[in-house]
Structure 1
Amino acid sequence: MKKTILILFGLLSMSGRVLAEPINEFTGLTTLSVIALGILNALRPSIFLMIVFLLSMIALIDKNKVLKVGLSFTAGAFLGYTIIASVLMNLHGKFIGLRYFVVAFGILVGAYKIASSLGYVKISPSNPLREKSNRILERATSPPSAFLVGGIMSFLSLSCVLPSYLLVTSLLSDGFSLGTRAVLLGVFIGISVLPLALVTLGFHYGSRYAKLGETVNKLSKMSGRGDLAMGVILVVVSVLYLLLLG
């Protein structure tokens, strides 16, 4: 645990040095968008509920594997989302007009989320990928397989997180140095997968640390309730981005 904390502090200090150099490149829109969309992604149930299912299953088989399997799954998801973000970033660099599609897509999806949250549009609760996802998760019985499954799950959840990833990568595709892009994407993806690590720690240490268990319970209740907030932020950021493009 101490080594992990030292590594995290090292990464944060390195990120601070990278961010301090091109500080003139920052805008309030970009910084707030990365943080806000990262937080809202973190509360999406797409992968959050998957790791709960996975760790519940592992805990019944061997409680000693929970920590390693959970952290491996989290690392795999982080890598998968990093690949997705990198591919999208390259697409933005090749197709300049894609930015306007991202703006339109963000406004449409955001408006849909707002309307559905307020009850104007009914969303079907059925999820055709749920059964398939559970079958894949059942194969994650060791750290290596959990790492692979975490990466696969990030791609299967793409339909839920695509609007925010398109918007963030489009915002970062122009006017930022390579180091700044890497740090901001790392922050965005790191925030997005943070609940996965918290759930893992909750399963492993929850019985010994009551506050950690309570945190996981709160995250479970909050997960999936951010559609209205996500819709508002998608619309606002997309409109502001359109004004900047103009």
Structure 2
Amino acid sequence: MGSGPAILSLKDVRYAWPGRASFALDIPDFTLAASESVLLLGESGSGKSTLLSLICGTITADAGTVTVAGTDIASMSAGQRDQFRAEHIGLIFQQFNLLPYARVLDNVLLPLRFAPLRRARAGVPLETASLLCSSLGLPADAIAAHAGMLSVGQQQRVAAARALIGAPPLIVADEPTSALDAATQATFLDLLFAQVRTSGGTLLMVSHDARLAPHFDRVVYMSDIIRTRQGAL
């Protein structure tokens, strides 16, 4: 479990979707330490997606602070938040969001086009992308293919490589194992954790599946971090 400074910190964060009379989320305190792996569990409608949007800066809190890698993202303009997210947060989406007609390595390298600091950390980007894909269990023929030609499990590994390249300090994964069977799920998590440890990153995975809990340093329930919640999220 991580023991370093906080990579992510939410303090007294409140957020309501526009047009609603009361706060949808009220989070007194939620913190992730450096190099920690945390599973955030919650059912549909519990506020997981809203929380991720706050962390990634695609929406901003009505009150409180959201600090990522020592920076309060609420103090930034929308463009600055976009740039900061590209540099400091690696995202693994539930639907992967790959470019199906682009080759695997082009998909993996895509974040570096918008993140010069992350690109510098990647060393020789093409070599780093290839090594990441191999380390995540992708065979050579899959690495050379178009992303749309791969199996679901292989596409998931491409999405993980794209999030990891350039060693962003925070990796956020949104239900990335929901389409996988238990054996494939466990294999993927083992590979993902190994690469996150190598990069020294912090992993926050959001899921509704409590069976994933033994893989993580810590498990947090949405119901435990929300002080008040009203309305659908």
TM-score, normalised by the number of residues in structure 2:
0.27
- Kindly indicate which of the two structures has a greater share of residues assigned to strand: 2
- Kindly indicate which of the two structures has a greater share of residues assigned to helix: 1
TM-score, normalised by the number of residues in structure 1:
0.26
Q: Max radius of gyration: which structure?
A: 1
Q: Return the structure number with greater relative CO, CA threshold 8 A, min gap 6.
A: 1
